[in-house]
Structure 1
Amino acid sequence: MSAKVLVVGDVMTDIIVVPEGPLVKGSDRRATVRHRPGGSGANQAVWLGAMGADVVFAARVGADDLARLEDYFRGRGVTPVLAGDADLPSGVLVTMVDPDGERSFLTDRGANLNLSSDDLPATLLDGIGMVMVSGYSFFAERPRLAVQGLLAEAKARGIAVAIDPASEGFLAEVGVERFIEWTRGADWLFANEDEAAALCGARGFEACVVALGAHYQRVVLKRGRHGAALGGRNGVELTLPARVVEMVDSTGAGDAFAAGFVAALLAGDDTGRAMGKAIAAGAKAVQSIGGQPS
């Protein structure tokens, strides 16, 4: 397998709001407000670059941001293949961070909604060993059709595919059965426990691993403070505990985890070592504000 990875997904600007206490309807609340680069696909690509992986990132952004974002990704070890959209601006995500570090989101996907087949030519797969796709790319018709075409070509070439469901809320909106139909047969599924429960409807992570293993070759569950589990249709093969760290902001922790796992796997590590590096990456991510390494 080639050690080169192609990531397809959203580019967003994250506006991260950390209030000093509960919101007061109709009044003020002091807060820390920060702008950070984000987007699930972009986060994964930048984390992969920080880990020394050979990574290509394909996405669509507002035309006014194209040159700046290309420079940004190159500066972080990522080869960008970005399309500029003349009609829609780059996406924006507002993240509200609760005192316990958990988050709620307000999303304007902007130019990401216009990702097209022309943005994802088959030549993108030349020399690629794995394709990572954020679930956000499946939640609107135009990017979904573009990604499905690329994944069909990847399958024909024998290139491994990894899917991250990305959003429990959007899974409920589009329908679990549809999402599984669109992504069935992927080599890897990286899901947090809420996404996994939504997808399989089973109780307990062991049951979810088995249920999801009927649709995906290998299943990796990101279990937050409970660590992570790996398995498939025959059950859980490996569990590892989480690292105990102070959580500042969980934005991008799942993206860092997936990137850590894939970077290690493509570097030749076995799944146990890859899981350990994934957990370490996720732990590092939660210790600072934003979804990408500083």
Structure 2
Amino acid sequence: MTRPARVVVVGDVITDVVAVLSGPLAVGSDTSAGITVGGGGQAANTAAWVAAQGVDVTLVAAVGDDDAGRDRVTELERAGVECAIDRIEGAATGTVIVLATNAERTMVSQRGANLRLSAEHVDRALAAVPDAGHLHLSAYTLLDAGSRGAGLRALAAARERGLTTSVDAASAAPLRRVGAAVFLSWVRDIDLLLVNADEATALAGGLDPAAQGRVLSASARRVVVKNGAAGAVWVDRTAAVSVAPARRVAVVDVTGAGDAFAAGLLTAWLAGATPTAALDRASDLGALAVCSVGGRPQP
């Protein structure tokens, strides 16, 4: 396999406040938890995991001109991510409160400066990385109306520059709000679409994962459906299907597991791996991510 060209990741930077609950949430009362504060955001997490694989990566995003934004950028730079970050005056860096149990997490989000990511900033950032070979977009950028222009411009500019493209579908609830037909029109003819089970159902209906992948491959050239403990399925337009089982590990926190999975999949596929080998690498990183708290690689 060859070393991939630079990956450009476009999307969100977030401060994650992760509470790993000791038991079921006691609504209206107290629940003990282990609480950590650090870097998050689907795009930022994916970029950090890509960097951890030894692949050059640039993150294009927006933060507030505040201490949280400066901290998030510093963390990413220390992780080996080149940051093309727009600092937005008068906006706060986004924050997410994550309530995590062993198998699931619930997020309460304030998107903050992420809503102010602009098409102009995306264009400038892409012009500054002539060695880029692939663009990966967090669909939060498309699903948030404020940043939608930046997300659409990122995909268009990538095509103009001859880059391959991928999109992580991000979250089922906002997908349902915008509607499957609209979202799929935004991502038409991308090279790779990543969806989890809930997102696949929102976009393709209640079919089995391989059938969902075949439906979605009418829009994206390749589709990966992540099905939790049941593993993952790769479908492309030739109707070829590859399946990889999930790894059996002790789950601590699932925050960022999908972002690690995406990084493993992309870096392996871009290096020339077969779909099965790319899924295996993705599953390895996803399993590694759930063994610790937070969405980033451990130092």
TM-score range, shorter chain: over 0.9
The reply on whether 1:201 has 2:201 as its aligned counterpart is no
Q: Distance in 2 between matches of 1:156 and 1:29?
A: 51
Amino acid aligned to 1:20: S
Counting only pairs closer than 5 Å after superposition, residues 220-235 of structure 1 correspond to structure 2 as: 220-235=224-239
Amino acid aligned to 1:165: A
Hey, what does 2:74 align to over in structure 1? Answer: 71
% identity of equivalent residues: 39
Moved more, 181-190 or 117-126: 117-126
Q: Distance in 2 between matches of 1:139 and 1:279?
A: 26
Deviations along 1:128-176, whole A, 9 cap, x unmatched? Answer: 1110000100112231112212211211222111000010011112222
Deviations along 1:7-57, whole A, 9 cap, x unmatched? Answer: 001101111112222222332222221112100000000000111111010
Match of 2:251 among 247, 250, 255: 247
Contact 1:12 1:90 in 2 (8 A): yes
Moved more, 88-97 or 68-77: 68-77
Q: Which structure 2 segments of 5+ residues have no match?
A: none
Match of 2:280 among 276, 280, 290: 276
Deviations along 1:227-275, whole A, 9 cap, x unmatched? Answer: 1111124435210111110111111111100100111122332322221
Contact 2:210 2:241 in 1 (8 A): no
Deviations along 1:92-122, whole A, 9 cap, x unmatched? Answer: 1111113x32111100010000001222124
Classify 1:30/1:67 alpha carbon distance in 2 versus 1 (closer, same or farther; 3 Å). Answer: closer
Tell me the CA shift for residue 125 of structure 1. Answer: 5.2
Contact 1:209 1:236 in 2 (8 A): no
Hey, what does 1:36 align to over in structure 2? Answer: 38
The reply on whether 1:161 has 2:200 as its aligned counterpart is no
Amino acid aligned to 2:117: L
Tell me the CA shift for residue 289 of structure 1. Answer: 0.7
Tell me the CA shift for residue 124 of structure 1. Answer: 4.4
Contact 1:206 1:235 in 2 (8 A): no
Moved more, 38-47 or 175-184: 175-184
Match of 1:22 among 21, 24, 32: 24
Amino acid aligned to 1:130: H
Q: Distance in 2 between matches of 1:203 and 1:176?
A: 15
Q: Distance in 2 between matches of 1:4 and 1:102?
A: 32
Classify 1:237/1:69 alpha carbon distance in 2 versus 1 (closer, same or farther; 3 Å). Answer: same
Alignment: residue pair count: 293
Amino acid aligned to 1:8: V
Contact 2:61 2:86 in 1 (8 A): yes
Q: Distance in 2 between matches of 1:206 and 1:132?
A: 23
Q: State the TM-score, normalized to the length of structure 2.
A: 0.93
Hey, what does 1:83 align to over in structure 2? Answer: 86
The 3-state SS of whatever aligns with 1:246 is: coil
Hey, what does 1:191 align to over in structure 2? Answer: 195
Tell me the CA shift for residue 202 of structure 1. Answer: 4.0
Classify 1:162/1:293 alpha carbon distance in 2 versus 1 (closer, same or farther; 3 Å). Answer: same
The 3-state SS of whatever aligns with 1:120 is: helix
